[in-house]
Structures are given as structure tokens and as C-alpha cells.
């Protein structure tokens, strides 16, 4: 059985493809829990699957209010997943730095 792992990053406002979890060769990352918290200004957040080029959105745009955020509770099947061998990144809108915390597992 795949082991659950945790990763976090503080992503600056206006960032495209800010790294949260680096790619793992031959596996996809299945995101099972998420917590997002914006700073003092409202900020949008979108999760991406990231190959060597530009990332591709794998989540909806989460609109986080000033000093607010979003929590996705544990989902056994997962909320979303990267493509095989790709990392997980975040794109943020103008606003403030966003804290991102994810629990994930790897699958072949």
C-alpha cells in the first residue's frame, strides 16, 4: 500500500507553477487532503500537474479571501492527481503569499 506523505510551501502572489511536490519518475501524485491559507489580501489558487514545460491545471480555481482559505478533508480516492512522472505546482493570482499544505500518495 502506498504511504501517505505531506508537503507544504509558501507561494508568493502572482506565481506561475510554484513547486509544492517535485516529480517522481514513473508515478503520479494523488492529492488526498489540502489546506490553503491566503495572507492579508484575497488570492486565487490553482493546482497544476507540471512536466518540464508549463503546468496544466488539475483543479478548479480556489478563491481565498483575505486571511482566509480552503480545506479539503481526507478523500480516499483523492481530490486530484498529477500525470505520471510530473510534479505538483500552484499558480496564484495577484494578492498575497499563500500557504499550501497537501497530503498525498504515489501510485504507479
Residue 95 has a pLDDT of 95
Counting Cα atoms < 13 Å in the Cβ hemisphere of 16 gives: 4
2 or 37, higher pLDDT: 37
- Grid coordinates in use for 33? 487532503
Q: Which residues fall within 8 angstroms of residue 90, CB to CB, at 6 or more apart?
A: 9, 11, 15, 17, 18, 20, 45, 46, 47, 48, 98, 100
Residue 73 has a pLDDT of 98
User: Percent of the chain beyond pLDDT 90?
Assistant: 94
What is this structure's pTM? Answer: 0.95
Q: Which residues fall within 8 angstroms of residue 98, CB to CB, at 6 or more apart?
A: 10, 11, 13, 36, 37, 38, 39, 43, 45, 64, 69, 90, 92
Residue 48 has pLDDT above 80, yes or no: yes
Residue 53 has a pLDDT of 85
| Average confidence (pLDDT) over 44-50 | 98
Residue 3 has a pLDDT of 83
Residue 1 has a pLDDT of 56
Name the pLDDT band for 49 (thresholds 50, 70, 90).
Answer: very high
Domains in the chain with CATH codes: 5-107 (2.60.120)
Amino acid at each position: 500500500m502506498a504511504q501517505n506523505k505531506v508537503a507544504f510551501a509558501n507561494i508568493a502572489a502572482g506565481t506561475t507553477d510554484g513547486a509544492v511536490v517535485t516529480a517522481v519518475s514513473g508515478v503520479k501524485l494523488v492529492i488526498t487532503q489540502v489546506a490553503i491559507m491566503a495572507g492579508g489580501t484575497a488570492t486565487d489558487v490553482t493546482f497544476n500537474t507540471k512536466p518540464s514545460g508549463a503546468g496544466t491545471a488539475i483543479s478548479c480555481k480556489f478563491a481565498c479571501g483575505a486571511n482566509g482559505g480552503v480545506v479539503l478533508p481526507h478523500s480516499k480516492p483523492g481530490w486530484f492527481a498529477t500525470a505520471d512522472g510530473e510534479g505538483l505546482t500552484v499558480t496564484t493570482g495577484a494578492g498575497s503569499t499563500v500557504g499550501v499544505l497537501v497530503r498525498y500518495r504515489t501510485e504507479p
